[in-house]
């Protein structure tokens, strides 16, 4: 007889008062660096802003309220390949026709948090001004080493391995065919789901094409593709130091970021500001409570080191994997404020493009920054594939 499928168990974490007391004590004892006068954000995280954020974290932020809000999402854990995987599994409300299962894949520096606002919009569009026929069953897993999923004790998993896990997870949940969507590292996971499981992934939606990897003759590329490769190299030179650290020596940074909540906040908030559509004011995209919910998840789960090690694993992915073309129907929503947005020619080169839009608002964290707009993008793209998924 075949082995029985693992059974998901309901999961509602509750942080101990001692853990919160320790966090507040560390925040209040922060030893602050100096900074040049009027440096602002030019050298990294702004000292004045971080002091303000940390003071609120220590004495104003109510984690139990945020923890309870996240607990309103139906959350579970299940053992897969020796790892406990945490995920949201929210079922569609009200559609009369077929329901498309959809797995949403997060990136760094976040977790299931990235999609926490958009889940209700996707499962119950009728309650949010949409068509009930566009409802999805939504699955949002935390990658191993992120959020409430286990941290791998051996080598970190790359995005190819994570895609294999998510295919297995969808099978455990009873979904033979499904859609996939993601951004940042989750864009890669979605891509490998489509590449390695084309018989199961009916369509794939991405908010980016990742940073370009091209080993061929640049003369083969269109001018806009060559310009994009040059832009990506320039972006890496000015903004990519974090990724170089993650790829090469993540454990060195992990000591300080795991020990200092202020350091952890500095590492993450600079990316929330730099990659969102906020025109330099991070609180145009995220409230302090939203920023600190994301950062506190990293702090309490002690996953900053394990999350960074995923970059190290991805750096070892063979070039031939990057050269594979996605033949599953692919959609791209390239939000205005995202980083290093690809040209259409590159998308056509690397994927079977069925849909491309350029929403006028939103950045790298579009599902959180602009949940209504992101939800409408997914509804529009996946609409033609619902019957195919269940036929």
Residues taking part in catalysis: 184, 311, 364
Strands 351-357 and 326-333 come out as: parallel
123 phi and psi, to 5 degrees? -85, -25
Classified as helix, coil or strand, 333 is strand
CA distances from 80 to 151, 171, 198, 238 (A): 13, 11, 21, 39
Identify the helix (H) or strand (E) that includes residue 170: helix 159-172
Classified as helix, coil or strand, 80 is strand
Alpha carbon distance, N-terminus to C-terminus of the chain = 29
CA distance 159 to 213: 15
284 preceded by a cis bond (ω within 30 of 0): no
Classified as helix, coil or strand, 319 is helix
The answer to whether the CB of 257 falls within 8 A of the CB of 267 is: yes
Residue identified by tokens 């694993």 is 313
Classified as helix, coil or strand, 233 is helix
Query: Taking each helix axis from N to C terminus, what angle separates 241-248 and 223-239, rounded to the nearest 10 degrees?
Result: 80
206: DSSP letter: E
């Amino acid at each position: 007889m075949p082995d029985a499928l693992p059974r998901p168990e309901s999961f509602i974490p509750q942080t101990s008062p001692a853990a919160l007391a320790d966090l507040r004590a560390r925040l209040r004892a922060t030893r602050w660096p100096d900074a040049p006068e009027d440096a602002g954000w030019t050298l990294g995280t702004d000292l004045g802003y971080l002091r303000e954020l940390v003071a609120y974290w220590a004495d104003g932020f109510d984690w139990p309220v945020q923890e309870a809000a996240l607990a309103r999402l139906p959350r579970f854990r299940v053992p897969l390949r020796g790892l406990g995987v945490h995920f949201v599994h929210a079922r569609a409300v009200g559609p009369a026709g077929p329901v498309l299962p959809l797995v949403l894949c997060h990136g760094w520096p976040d977790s299931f948090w990235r999609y926490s606002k958009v889940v209700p919009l996707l499962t119950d569009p009728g309650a949010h001004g949409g068509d009930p026929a566009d409802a999805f069953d939504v699955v949002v897993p935390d990658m191993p080493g992120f959020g409430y999923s286990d941290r791998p004790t051996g080598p970190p998993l790359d995005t190819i391995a994570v895609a294999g896990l998510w295919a297995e997870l969808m099978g455990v949940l009873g979904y033979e065919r499904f859609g996939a969507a993601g951004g940042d590292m989750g864009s890669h996971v979605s891509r490998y789901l489509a590449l390695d499981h084309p018989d199961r992934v009916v369509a794939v939606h991405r908010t980016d094409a990742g940073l370009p990897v091209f080993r061929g003759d640049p003369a083969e590329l269109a001018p806009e593709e060559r310009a994009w490769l040059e832009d990506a190299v320039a972006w890496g030179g000015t903004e990519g130091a974090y990724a170089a650290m993650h790829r090469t020596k993540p454990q060195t940074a992990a000591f300080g970021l795991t020990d200092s909540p202020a350091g952890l906040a500095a590492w993450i908030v600079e990316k929330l500001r730099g990659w969102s559509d906020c025109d330099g004011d991070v609180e145009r995209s995220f409230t302090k409570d939203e920023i600190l919910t994301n950062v506190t998840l990293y702090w309490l789960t002690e996953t900053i080191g394990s999350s960074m090690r995923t970059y190290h694993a991805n750096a070892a992915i063979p070039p031939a994997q990057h050269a594979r073309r996605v033949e599953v129907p692919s959609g791209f929503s390239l939000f205005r404020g995202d980083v290093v947005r690809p040209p259409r020619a590159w998308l056509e080169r690397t994927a079977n493009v069925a849909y491309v839009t350029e929403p006028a608002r939103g950045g790298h964290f579009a599902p959180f920054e602009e949940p209504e707009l992101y939800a409408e993008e997914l509804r529009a793209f996946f609409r033609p594939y619902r019957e195919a998924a269940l036929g």
